[in-house]
Structure 1
Amino acid sequence: MKFPLLHLFVILSVSLPVSAFAELSLPHCFSDHMVLQRERAAQIWGQADAQAEVTVRFKDQSATTKADANGHWKTQIPTGAADAQGAELTVTSHGENVKVSDVLVGEVWLASGQSNMYFTMDRVPAYEALMAKANYPGLRMFNAPLVTAEKPQADIEGPWSLCSPETVPSYSAVAFFFALKLHQELGVPVGVIKTAWGGKPVETFTSREALNTLPGTKAMVDKLMEEAATYDPPQAQAAYEKRLEQWKATMAAAKGQPADDRKRLPKKPAAPKPPLLTEGKPGVLYNAMIHPFVGYTMRGAIWYQGEGNAKAGAVPYDQTLPLMIRDWRQRWKDEFSFYFVQLANYREPSTAPGTPDPWPLLQDRMRHILETTPKTGMAVINDVGEANDIHPKDKQTPGERLARWALAKDYRRDILHSSPLYRSSKVKDGAMQITFDHVGAGLKSRDGGPLKRFEIAGADRVWHWADASVKGKDQVVVSNPAVPQPVAVRYAWASNPEGANLINGEGLPASVFRTDDWNDVEVTATETGGRSNQEKRRILGAEIKALNAQSAKMDKTSPDFKATRKKIQEMLAEFKAMAPSKAK
């Protein structure tokens, strides 16, 4: 049977998938002003007609490949040495042509995490003069938008921008100072891909496939899938409208009241979202904000996150962050460098030794990651935090301390890159001798005074403030007459260890550490946000009981005893204030 030509075309059109006739295209990460990683075979990918031949040209290099049955194609093209002169990258296929202009060759890094990485330059008044002069055409950034996705996405919107007084206000401040340091030290273009979202835990930046390999995080995925299966949009909308009306009533009642008399007002409730599209849920931000960049050839990643995981009951961070690092590296098929910022000091300074607190616990688990995960580095910033703000304004210090790791490890600069890190300990003559790595010219006190914030305990596990002094270049001797047979030492073990002053020859502050593995660090009343009042009261009661037990073993005339009893009285007052009202 013979078919007219038009009929034959219709039959073929119906039988072939839509992707068979895909328009030649590149994802947004390959766009004008981008930076390609130097001295590598940079991966380039996109869409074309199914089975079509695709050619990529850049400078004097070219590479030809063939799209698969779905129109997906990927190839590699050598980039050569760093080049600050913008060049054109072209992609051709079946007569179609895509051009990318002003492409530089230099160093490429991914910057991710939560609010302290997202924190933009324009939020710091002290940076205004610097921003006014920030004309660095060789420093560029891709700002990924805040989006969520149920499944891994192939693309995400967002342009590359040249650093200028007009664009730099929206740059991640930490990423900017990191990139600027590299740009100035190396003399080559630097590109940063920023994928950060405030208030989000590490699990949302990790793929669900990876999360399913760890029991603690698999339970999170299982719970999410259960929520998704039972999600009822009309019911969720009705519940939201009820919460919204309650919020409006609360705000109306507070209107006109003196500020000092007003209770802390609740936030306006958020509109309902399907669980698989809710930011912060396991894998959601990986799908939308990480997966589109998987394969983009780069030197490494920088990371500032952890606040969202510093809480009682969280899966240990020295399990979840390495899981994410392995996940990313496996997907990139590259053991790239990964440098992270240790949490800064935060909240009111503690006055009693041995106070349970998940903040230094997470900081110390970050330190352990250095020992277990290769090609990682940690910027210690326990000296730049703010008691009343979880977002320290000083973003230059963490950015430049991250750059130290990159300069030393990736670019072979002969500089001291790390803060002092605990190496080992031993008991000698009634004292603990602590040995450190990364001391440079030698350990010392930042202010020239005695070393502070060292705690010491014996077998009874009662903590005391300790005397501490530097011995030689790399040791600190820690003691207290009340502990003649010490078994454990901690340093800077508090959310805000005010006075901690141990530094190395370069002025880098020593990391928090502990020599014990006791479990008295797990619970705190300061990290019970989101729990019921009854649960908060139960945890606070457990803290009071633990401190009472400690104080019973203390010398009643010692400063430690007085400080602990004062803390207990404060906590008792809070405990009583949380008691449920009696029915009249």
Structure 2
Amino acid sequence: MAASWLLLLVSAWTAGAELRLASYYADHMVLQKEPSQAVIWGYGDFGATVMVTVSNDQIVVKKMAEIQGGSEMWRAVLSPMSQGGPYKIEIQQYHREEVTNVTLNDVYFGDVWLCSGQSNMEMTVSQIYNASLELADASRYPLVRVFAAALVQSEVELQDLAEISLQWSIPTAENLGHGDFSYFSAVCWLFGRYLFEKLKYPIGLIDSSWGGTPIEAWSSKSALHECKISEYAESTPASYLNAGPKTYSVLWNAMIHPLLNMTLQGVIWYQGEANTLRNTDLYNCTFPALIKDWRKAFHEGSDGQTQEDFPFGFVQLSTNRRVETDDHFPRIRWHQTADYGYAPNKEMPNTFMAVTIDLGDDNSPYGSIHPRDKQNVAYRLHLGALAVAYHDKSVVFQGPYPKKVEVDSEHASLHVTYQEEVVLRRSDNKTFEVCCSEQPMCKWSPVSIVSSSSSSVVLHNPACPAAVSGLRYAWIEWPCEYKLCPLYNLQALPAPPFITFSEGNPGWIVS
């Protein structure tokens, strides 16, 4: 049996730190495969030598680890490892003629994804459609391993997780459906399962989410500073949208910062509902700033092994109430894209978005803010991951987005041309709206879809045929019924909401 030996001298300010691993290293875990190098770290006695051995039936190159001085921490950057396993990892500490050791068993190398956000990420498999079938299916995926951080907040950045809800585990019905809004995240699980079905190698999933939390709680102070946010936000009325910790950076400190030293493949994110109640129009800054900050922090924390532009997927918000006068949800959806309407874009490179405006669920026992169709959410996310993270150019992962608006004032119509072929699932007289006055004080009026061709739709605009200055789509909180938005592409992906104005826009043609 061959082995790789990584030697590490351990220094500390004080003696007495026994050999132990960071909290999230355990049997059954998945470590990041090549071309990145996995990082293992922990604590030891001052002046000790630590040796890490990774072994199975294959030859592994020997390598020396760097010396970690000035603290009790030791860290080993492993050689690049190909997918597969199981491996045994043995950590031995040599100190004052004593040898202590810790062993990890059943460790695999594959891709590690972090899943974070608020309650729609937190919802467990037992809460979604076809839960019984999904839970019974869990045992078919023993190489999709799961881990869940506990709900902890902190005023200071923690070095390690204070608590764990679910230590690394082989999936079972029990640990995927432990309890409502507990471990394990349905979106995270299904996303990983879909990836495994395509990639055919181990997937490690880390769930670190907390319901009712604003983005500011998940952001470091430096990220918030980028958006000129330095003071605590004003208090907000308590509701299921804003029920979790609201204090800035407390979840970054306790539930993200401790994970920075491990190597990741990417992140998926489902959050934003709480920010329909606070700092709504700062989200086009706070969200891109969080992505940039997490990328920088994970890259540095892993000794450069987590890629500095790692893929970041997110869910554009679904629905909540059937109201037309409150535009907080449409504005957050738009700001989730840094006001581009799609992802990736210039402000958010190497990102991907799952549009979910057509997955509203009036009858959800957890409130309509928590739609139960998490299968489609995760499926759309995994398409984005395949295209962006795994560079599969054959995968279409975005719904149709307009590239040209032609105003035909003579016939009181607008022709909207898309970048790809569109499928008109239904015509209506409300999903599209025109601006009949100068922005930003638009008077919006609904217009009817009258026809469509392979890549365009024609709208009837009697409201202001000669004076239309703007157009928007699906700009209400609940824009369409379940899987019945007007426009999709050939892959059944819904067109995302958008808003556009004629002034200064080369995509507008007025005749």
Residue equivalent to 1:234: none
Q: Are 2:177 and 1:169 aligned?
A: yes
Distance in 1 (CA, whole Å) between partners of 2:239 and 2:145 is 39
Q: Are 2:460 and 1:487 aligned?
A: no
Change (3 A) 1:453 1:125: closer
Give the alignment partner of residue 256 of structure 2, picking from 280, 290, 306.
290
Residue equivalent to 1:425: 405
Residue equivalent to 1:477: 458
Contact 2:319–2:368, Cα closer than 8 Å, also in 1: no
Give the alignment partner of residue 218 of structure 1, picking from 226, 230, 236.
230
Residue equivalent to 2:508: none
Q: Are 2:353 and 1:383 aligned?
A: no
Give the counterpart letter for 1:373 in structure 2. M
Change (3 A) 1:313 1:410: closer
**TM-score scaled by length of structure 1:** 0.71
Q: Are 2:358 and 1:403 aligned?
A: no
Pairing of 1:128-143 with structure 2 (within 5 A): 128-135=132-139, 136-143=141-148
Contact 2:473–2:499, Cα closer than 8 Å, also in 1: yes
Give the counterpart letter for 2:455 in structure 1. D
> Cα offset for 1:451?
7.3
% same residue: 33
Q: Are 2:150 and 1:145 aligned?
A: yes
Corresponding residue pairs, total: 443
Contact 1:50–1:69, Cα closer than 8 Å, also in 2: no
Contact 1:445–1:451, Cα closer than 8 Å, also in 2: no
> Cα offset for 1:315?
4.6
**TM-score scaled by length of structure 2:** 0.81
Distance in 1 (CA, whole Å) between partners of 2:403 and 2:436 is 20
Q: Are 2:61 and 1:82 aligned?
A: no
Kindly provide the CA deviation profile for residues 163-212 of structure 1, in whole angstroms up to 9, marking residues without a partner as x.
12232213211111101100111111111110000000011011123222
- Tell me the SS of whatever aligns to 2:142: strand
> Cα offset for 1:408?
1.5
Aligned CA-pair RMSD: 2.6
Pairing of 1:288-437 with structure 2 (within 5 A): 288-311=254-277, 313-333=279-299, 334-350=308-324, 355-367=325-337, 368=339, 370=343, 371=345, 372-387=347-362, 389-413=368-392, 414-429=394-409, 430-437=412-419
Change (3 A) 1:186 1:20: same
> Cα offset for 1:266?
11
> Cα offset for 1:471?
5.2
Distance in 2 (CA, whole Å) between partners of 1:477 and 1:119 is 40
> Cα offset for 1:409?
1.7
> Cα offset for 1:507?
1.0
Q: Which has the higher strand share?
A: 2
- Tell me the SS of whatever aligns to 1:515: strand
Contact 1:108–1:190, Cα closer than 8 Å, also in 2: yes
- Tell me the SS of whatever aligns to 2:108: strand
Change (3 A) 1:464 1:73: same
Give the counterpart letter for 2:495 in structure 1. A
Q: State which drifts further: 315-324 or 475-484.
A: 475-484
Kindly provide the CA deviation profile for residues 306-357 of structure 1, in whole angstroms up to 9, marking residues without a partner as x.
000013653521111111111111111221100000000221254xxxx451
Q: Which has the higher helix share?
A: 1
Which runs of 5 or more residues in structure 1 are unaligned?
1-15, 225-264, 271-277, 519-584
Q: State which drifts further: 360-369 or 34-43.
A: 360-369
Decide which structure has the larger Cα Rg and report it.
1
Give the counterpart letter for 1:316 in structure 2. L
Residue equivalent to 2:43: 47
Q: State which drifts further: 24-33 or 422-431.
A: 422-431
Distance in 2 (CA, whole Å) between partners of 1:25 and 1:502 is 55
Give the counterpart letter for 1:122 in structure 2. S
Distance in 2 (CA, whole Å) between partners of 1:494 and 1:42 is 45
- Tell me the SS of whatever aligns to 1:420: coil
Distance in 2 (CA, whole Å) between partners of 1:55 and 1:422 is 57
> Cα offset for 1:21?
3.5
> Cα offset for 1:469?
5.0
Residue equivalent to 1:71: 72
- Tell me the SS of whatever aligns to 1:203: helix
- Tell me the SS of whatever aligns to 2:376: helix
Contact 1:345–1:496, Cα closer than 8 Å, also in 2: yes
> Cα offset for 1:479?
3.5
Distance in 2 (CA, whole Å) between partners of 1:186 and 1:284 is 36
Residue equivalent to 1:557: none
